[in-house]
Amino acid sequence: MTASSVIVFVGRWARHLLACGVLAMPATFAARANASQPPAAESGDPVVRVKAAYLYKFAGYVEWPPAVFASDKSPIVIGVIGNDDLEEILSHMIVGKTANGRPLVTRRLEADGPLQGVHMLFVGVMDARTLQAIGDAVRDKPVLVVSDAEQERALDSMISFDLVDHHLRFDVALKPVASSGLELRALMLTAARRVARGDP
């Protein structure tokens, strides 16, 4: 994909969010992000950049139980498994940013490693057995689990990304959210393509 087509792709996505009136980003988001990031964070699949931007915005639309944070200044930790490019892009994107008054940090995790201390978890492409193990480890815990649509059943993810007509959309599953103790703000549900209130 050429540089010009990347700009068009991200630009269309930004206009979609602005049209929804939620999770809105300034029209100059893409240009500012590219200007502030080193070359290593500029390369790669533009869809990965859009996913990273969504993860950053999601953090401002989730309410975690106060007890999961050690103090009022504790950061929101976004863990990433199985997609190092996304973690790198997101780590640059959130420098100096906050959500709900808390700083944001990323953590690159291994599929077979400990998952404690994360508040949001993005899971990349994994085999079904690994997805099941990760899902079991975070199920009913206050962790916002995000994945691609093909993995949502095995992982029991709360938010799943899907590429539809060259646009990245996301769906929300409220059943795992309810058992986690998290609360999603209405604006996030409004922006979702689909909200499942029971079993998918």
**pLDDT of 42 higher than 80:** no
**pLDDT of 6 higher than 50:** no
**pLDDT of 19 higher than 60:** no
pLDDT of residue 195: 95
Q: In what order do the strands lie in the sheet with 144-148?
A: 98-99, 102-109, 76-81, 120-123, 144-148, 159-164, 167-173, 194-196
**pLDDT of 97 higher than 50:** yes
For the chain, what are the domain ranges?
3-196
pLDDT band at residue 40 under the 50/70/90 scheme:
very low
d(CA 40, CA 44): 9
**pLDDT of 43 higher than 90:** no
Amino acid identity of 151? Answer: Q
**pLDDT of 66 higher than 70:** yes
- Mean pLDDT over each residue of the chain, to the nearest integer: 81
Residue, of 197 and 195, whose pLDDT is higher:
195
**pLDDT of 200 higher than 70:** no
DSSP string for residues in the chain: --HHHHHHHHHHHHHHHHHHTSS---TTHHHHHHHHS-HHHH-S-HHHHHHHHHHHHHGGGEE--GGGSSSTTPPEEEEEES-HHHHHHHHHHTTT-EETTEEEEEEEE-TTS--TT-SEEEE-S--HHHHHHHHHHHTTSS-EEEEEGGGHHHHT-SEEEEEETTEEEEEEEHHHHHHHT-EE-HHHHHHSSEEE-S--
**pLDDT of 7 higher than 60:** no
**Short-list 120, 41, 114, CA closest to 79:** 120
What does the pLDDT look like over 141-195, one tens digit per residue?
999 999 998 888 888 899 999 998 889 999 999 999 999 999 999 999 999 999 9
Q: How far is CA 160 from each of CA 25, 26, 114, rounded to the nearest angstrom? A: 20, 24, 22
